[in-house]
Structure 1
Amino acid sequence: MRDSTDERPRLSRRGTLAATAGLLTSGLAGCLDSSSNANDSPDNGTDGANGDGPVVAASFFSFYDFARNVADGTPIRVTNLVPTGLHGHGWEPNASVTKDIIDADAFLHVGPGFQPWADRAIQTLEDDDADTQLINAREGVQLVDLAATLDPDEEGVGKQRGKDPHFWLGPDRAKTSVDNITDGLVELAPAHEDALRDNATTYKTETIERIDADYQAIFDAADRDVVQLAAHNAFQYIGVKYDVTMRPLVTNLAASGDVKPSDITEAKGVIEDNDIEYIANGVFESRRPAEQLLAETQVEAYFPVTPYAGVREAWVENDWGYEEIAYNINMPTFRVVLGNDAPENVGPDGWAAEWRNFE
Structure 2
Amino acid sequence: MFNTDPERPRRRFSRRDAIAAAGGLLTTGTAGCLGSAIPGDRSASSGVRAEGETDTATGAGDAPVVVASFFSFYDFARHVAAGTPVEVRNLVPTGLHGHGWEPNARITREIIEADAFIHVGPDFQPWADRAIETIEADGADTDLINARAGIDLVDLAASLDRDEEGVGEQRGKDPHFWLDPNRAMRSVDTIAEGLVRIAPDHEDALRANADAYKRDVLERIDAAYRRIFETADRDVVQLAAHNAFQYIGVTYDVRMRPLVVNLAASGDVKPTDITEAKRVIDEHDIEYIAAAVFETRRPAQQLLRETAVDAYFPVTPYAGVREDWVAEGWGYEEIARRINMPTFEVVLGNAVPEDVGPDGWADQWRNFE
TM-score higher than 0.5 here?
A: yes
- Structure 1 residues 237, 273: closer, same or farther in 2, change over 3 A? same
Partner of 2:345: 335
In the alignment, does 2:82 pair up with 1:66? no
SS of structure 2 residue aligned to 1:248: strand
Partner of 2:297: 287
- Please report how far the alpha carbon of residue 53 of structure 1 lies from its aligned counterpart in structure 2 after TM superposition: 1.1
In the alignment, does 2:125 pair up with 1:115? yes
Partner of 1:5: none
User: 2:201, 2:118 → 1: CA distance?
Assistant: 20
Are 1:44 and 1:83, in contact at CA under 8 Å, matched by a contact in 2?
no
Matches within 5 A, 1:1-359: 31-33=33-35, 40-41=51-52, 52-155=62-165, 157=167, 159-359=169-369
Are 1:178 and 1:200, in contact at CA under 8 Å, matched by a contact in 2?
yes
User: 2:349, 2:51 → 1: CA distance?
Assistant: 44
- Please report how far the alpha carbon of residue 94 of structure 1 lies from its aligned counterpart in structure 2 after TM superposition: 1.6
Are 2:291 and 2:300, in contact at CA under 8 Å, matched by a contact in 1?
yes
- Please report how far the alpha carbon of residue 34 of structure 1 lies from its aligned counterpart in structure 2 after TM superposition: 8.8
- Structure 1 residues 257, 191: closer, same or farther in 2, change over 3 A? same
Higher alpha-carbon deviation: 185-194 or 156-165 = 156-165
- Structure 1 residues 69, 33: closer, same or farther in 2, change over 3 A? closer
SS of structure 2 residue aligned to 1:84: coil
Are 1:51 and 1:75, in contact at CA under 8 Å, matched by a contact in 2?
no
Structure 1: which amino acid aligns with 2:52? S
- Please report how far the alpha carbon of residue 155 of structure 1 lies from its aligned counterpart in structure 2 after TM superposition: 4.3
TM-score, scaled to structure 1: 0.87
TM-score, scaled to structure 2: 0.85
Structure 1: which amino acid aligns with 2:132? I
Identify unmatched segments of 5+ residues in structure 1: 1-29
Identify unmatched segments of 5+ residues in structure 2: 1-31, 39-49
- Structure 1 residues 114, 315: closer, same or farther in 2, change over 3 A? same
User: 2:313, 2:131 → 1: CA distance?
Assistant: 37
User: 2:168, 2:204 → 1: CA distance?
Assistant: 36
Are 1:33 and 1:254, in contact at CA under 8 Å, matched by a contact in 2?
no
SS of structure 1 residue aligned to 2:171: coil
What CA deviation, in whole Å up to 9, does each residue of 1:213-268 have, x standing for no partner?
A: 01111111100000000000110001001000000000011100000000000000
- Structure 1 residues 243, 115: closer, same or farther in 2, change over 3 A? same
Aligned residues: 326
SS of structure 2 residue aligned to 1:246: strand
Higher alpha-carbon deviation: 191-200 or 146-155 = 146-155
Structure 2: which amino acid aligns with 1:87? H
- Please report how far the alpha carbon of residue 40 of structure 1 lies from its aligned counterpart in structure 2 after TM superposition: 4.2
Are 1:34 and 1:256, in contact at CA under 8 Å, matched by a contact in 2?
no
SS of structure 1 residue aligned to 2:256: strand
Structure 2: which amino acid aligns with 1:41? G
SS of structure 2 residue aligned to 1:231: strand
Structure 1: which amino acid aligns with 2:34? L
- Please report how far the alpha carbon of residue 45 of structure 1 lies from its aligned counterpart in structure 2 after TM superposition: 12
SS of structure 2 residue aligned to 1:280: strand
SS of structure 2 residue aligned to 1:304: strand
User: 2:53, 2:230 → 1: CA distance?
Assistant: 42
Are 2:345 and 2:351, in contact at CA under 8 Å, matched by a contact in 1?
yes
User: 2:296, 2:123 → 1: CA distance?
Assistant: 25
What CA deviation, in whole Å up to 9, does each residue of 1:165-198 have, x standing for no partner?
A: 0000111110000000000000110100000000
- Please report how far the alpha carbon of residue 89 of structure 1 lies from its aligned counterpart in structure 2 after TM superposition: 2.0
User: 1:182, 1:293 → 2: CA distance?
Assistant: 44
Partner of 2:5: none
User: 2:153, 2:144 → 1: CA distance?
Assistant: 21
User: 2:36, 2:296 → 1: CA distance?
Assistant: 13
Are 1:89 and 1:114, in contact at CA under 8 Å, matched by a contact in 2?
yes
RMSD: 2.1
- Please report how far the alpha carbon of residue 113 of structure 1 lies from its aligned counterpart in structure 2 after TM superposition: 1.1
- Please report how far the alpha carbon of residue 306 of structure 1 lies from its aligned counterpart in structure 2 after TM superposition: 0.3
User: 2:82, 2:130 → 1: CA distance?
Assistant: 30
What CA deviation, in whole Å up to 9, does each residue of 1:49-105 have, x standing for no partner?
A: x66410001000000000000000000000111122233322221211111100001
